Copies of this chain bind each other. A is one copy, B any other.
Amino acid sequence: MTVSSAPGKLYLFGEHAVVYGEPAVGCAIDRRARVTVERRDDDRLQVEARDLTLDGFTVEYSGGANDQLDVNVPTPLVEAAMGYVDGAVEQAREAAGAPDAGLDLIVESEIPLGAGLSSSAAVIVATIDAAARELGVDLPAEEIADRAYRVEHGVQDGQASRTDTFCSTVGGAVRVEGDDCERIDDIPDLPLVVGYDGGAGDTGELVAGVRALREEYDFAADTVGAIGDVVRRGERALAEDDVEEIGRLMDFNHGLLSAIGVSSRSLDAMVWAAREADALGAKLTGAGGGGCIVALDETPGAQTALRYTPGCEDAFRAGLDRDGVRAEG
């Protein structure tokens, strides 16, 4: 039996624009997906998914084609999650030269599904690592990241960026621009607070919406470019540990994301709750449309304000996780 875990992440800057070659900065957080893999005697796969979110719902699922899902989350999310697991197992089998290896998998996660915290990347990365090790192969980080990206790319119809899978694999903060991924080594410990509305956006639809706006309007393309400029300035603010400027830039980044149509009522309500509680800045994270915001606040103010905000289901402090994928006990 082999167990691996990998962290979720949030975007400090640059989601959506990264699809068009702009840089983005992501940051692994101390909420993890954990995958347990055990070799079977036959060639079958069985996947048991547990706690695929923070609170409120649990999924029990067995991978057999005719098994019933016992689910109280939107079925498309669960199907997507299972698609990621299947793709990850395929990558591990290929890497281990064992295309017919049967496996039992248990997937557990502290990361809300489809909510902008890269739950899928964390599940894929942990699955590839655990399954490959169970099949006798220790994959280097860059291969895990690359194989994980291929899975996301396949499931998401070619819309994925490398940010999620790279960040989940190597941990810490990362900078991604096109296919170039690097770790940012001197990242400060930022006082991150996450607000979660209990929902999830439709990444494919949101990405397609931005694409359509960009094709229709030059100023939408300029707005995507402005996000890239915010990111570049944000990198400098991170290097200088200037948290006040990081906050201002997060605010600006959120406004530009609103302009390209990927915010939502509850995301904006959470962003304002954090700001009015004197957070240094706040923005949505990930594809948007619902899910999570991230705020910068050293005091308990933003978290408290979020907990009293209608539409906010959970608020928690998120620590930077400097560990990427790792073997567990």
Chain A interfacial positions (CB closer than 8 Å to B): 213, 217-220, 222-223, 225-226, 229-230, 233, 251-252, 254-261, 263-265, 268-269, 272-273, 275-276
Contact = CB atoms under 8 A, between A and B. Distances in A.
A268 to B, nearest CB: 5
A302 B215 CA distance: 29
A275 B264 CA distance: 10
Nearest to A261: B251
A259 B269 contact: no
A258 B254 contact: yes
B223 A256 contact: yes
A41 to B, nearest CB: 54
Nearest to A219: B229
How many copies of this chain are found per oligomer? 2
Contacts of A217: 229-230, 233, 252
23 contacts: A217-B233, A217-B252, A218-B229, A219-B226, A219-B229, A220-B252, A222-B222, A222-B225, A222-B229, A223-B223, A223-B226, A223-B256, A226-B226, A226-B259, A255-B257, A255-B258, A255-B260, A258-B258, A259-B259, A264-B272, A265-B275, A265-B276, A269-B272
A252 B209 CA distance: 13
Given A225-B222, A226-B223, A252-B220, A272 B268 contact: yes
- For the complex of A and B, the 5 pairs showing the least CB-CB separation, nearest first, are A255-B259, A265-B272, A219-B229, A255-B258, A219-B226
Contact of A233 (B219, B226, B251, B268): B219
A152 to B, nearest CB: 27
Nearest to A221: B226
Given A222-B222, A222-B225, A259 B256 contact: yes
A125 to B, nearest CB: 33
A225 B272 CA distance: 25
A233 to B, nearest CB: 7
A224 to B, nearest CB: 10
Contact of A219 (B252, B259, B275): B252
A102 to B, nearest CB: 48
A254 to B, nearest CB: 7
Contacts of A233: 217, 219
A223 B257 CA distance: 12
Nearest to A253: B259
Contacts of A230: 217, 219
A269 to B, nearest CB: 7
Given A220-B252, A265-B269, 19 more contacts: A219-B226, A219-B229, A219-B230, A219-B252, A223-B223, A223-B256, A226-B259, A252-B260, A252-B261, A255-B256, A255-B259, A255-B260, A256-B259, A258-B259, A259-B259, A264-B272, A265-B276, A268-B268, A269-B272
